[in-house]
Amino acid sequence: MPNALKADLWLVLVTILAAVSWIFSKEAIMLMPPLIFISLRFFLAGLFLTIIGFHQIKLLNWAQYKQAILVGCVFTVGMCFWIMGLYSGVSLTIGGFLTSLAVLFSPILARVFFKEYVPSRTWYAIPVAVIGVGFLSLGSGFNIESGQLLFMVASLFFALFFILNTRAANHREVGGIDEVLEISEKVPSLPLTAITLLVVGVIAGCLSLLMESPSIVVEEFSMAMLGWVLASAFIGTAIRFFIQTHAQSLSENSHGVVIMVVEPVWTALLTAAWFSEQLSVNDFVGCLLIFISIIIIRWTSIYQLVNPKNKTLRGTT
């Protein structure tokens, strides 16, 4: 089986685990402060993977450590905004689609930070996404709710995280006219995931000590709280992010950016079943337009996925 196909299949599983983790997280933060939850979730997951991959982690050089720590720092910012958006009470369905804007932001950020080409379809997708966000704001008099804004900021950092994570997980050579100017050695998927998760856990824990009362966890401890934390740590985090990083390391030519598009759809379906969420007409139209904007930006990849023999559009994504 080709590596690209293996990566695609693994990423399908990642989207399902990601959707399920929304439910785990929502249930958990109804019982405990959000930042301490993020800290426990990611620290436990990172510790688990560190124990498994300790031998590999010891073999990393300092440049590889720096790559993994940078990925973790960026992801920490995104996760903190994300959990506060979730804590704000915004519909999980709306939050899922707003977070999916990371797909839209990725090529723009890749251009800003790494001078990569921005597909022309990005500029067609942006106004559709903006209109979609506008529909989501209709319920509050054309004002974007604070929770929605938190999710959008989180999506910016998730986009940057996805870019940095992919670059760290793959060997890269930056060449001049006659020579290689820089070699960036790949970080194996297990150490990269473990370090990234530990960084999130440590930084979020420090923020929790400054902004929350972690003692509440002890005072209001319950088996339900423990269950949601453990489910989030091991199913929704350790397993999920290890598979995602492993899939990204298999091939830079997989359809990961296309497959990840379906995550908000899974989130909408599962949260509707679990929490009986219902959207207003404006919210539904807004989510639909955001989804369409993501389809637009990835249309060439989707077309090639459906018609693998047609390569005429290759290079435009």
pTM of the model: 0.86
Task: Give buried/exposed letters for 198-208 (b at 16+ CB in 10 A, else e).
Answer: bbbbbbbbebb
Element (H, E) at 2: none
Residue 37: per-residue pLDDT: 97
Q: Which residues contact 217 (CB under 8 A, 6 or more apart)?
A: 32, 33, 36, 225
Angle at 218 between CA 212 and CA 224, to 5 degrees: 105
Q: How far apart are the first and last CA of the chain?
A: 25
User: pLDDT tens-digit profile of 135-146?
Assistant: 988 765 667 889
User: pLDDT tens-digit profile of 214-227?
Assistant: 888 888 999 999 99
Mean pLDDT across the chain, nearest whole number?
Answer: 86
> Higher pLDDT residue, 301 or 17?
17
Residue 120: per-residue pLDDT: 85
> Higher pLDDT residue, 3 or 252?
3
Pairing of strands 172-175, 180-184: antiparallel
The amino acid present at 128, given as its one-letter code, is: V
Cβ 91 vs Cβ 279: under 8 Å:
yes
Q: How far is CA 35 from the centre of its chain?
A: 17
Residue 215: per-residue pLDDT: 86
Residue 255: per-residue pLDDT: 60
> Higher pLDDT residue, 256 or 122?
122
Where residue 171 falls among pLDDT bands split at 50, 70, 90?
Answer: low
- What is the mean pLDDT of the segment spanning 24-41? 96
- What is the mean pLDDT of the segment spanning 294-310? 71
- 304: pLDDT strictly greater than 70: no
User: pLDDT tens-digit profile of 247-300?
Assistant: 767 755 556 666 777 889 899 999 889 998 888 899 999 999 999 998 888 777
Distance (Å, rounded) from C-alpha 5 to C-alpha 225? 38
Q: Which token pair is 62?
A: 């300092």
- Report domain extents, the chain: 3-169+184-306
> Higher pLDDT residue, 116 or 236?
236
User: pLDDT tens-digit profile of 57-107?
Assistant: 999 999 999 999 999 999 999 999 999 999 999 999 999 999 999 988 988
**Winning range, highest mean pLDDT, from 33-37, 169-173, 183-187:** 33-37
Q: Which residues contact 221 (CB under 8 A, 6 or more apart)?
A: none
- 185: pLDDT strictly greater than 50: yes
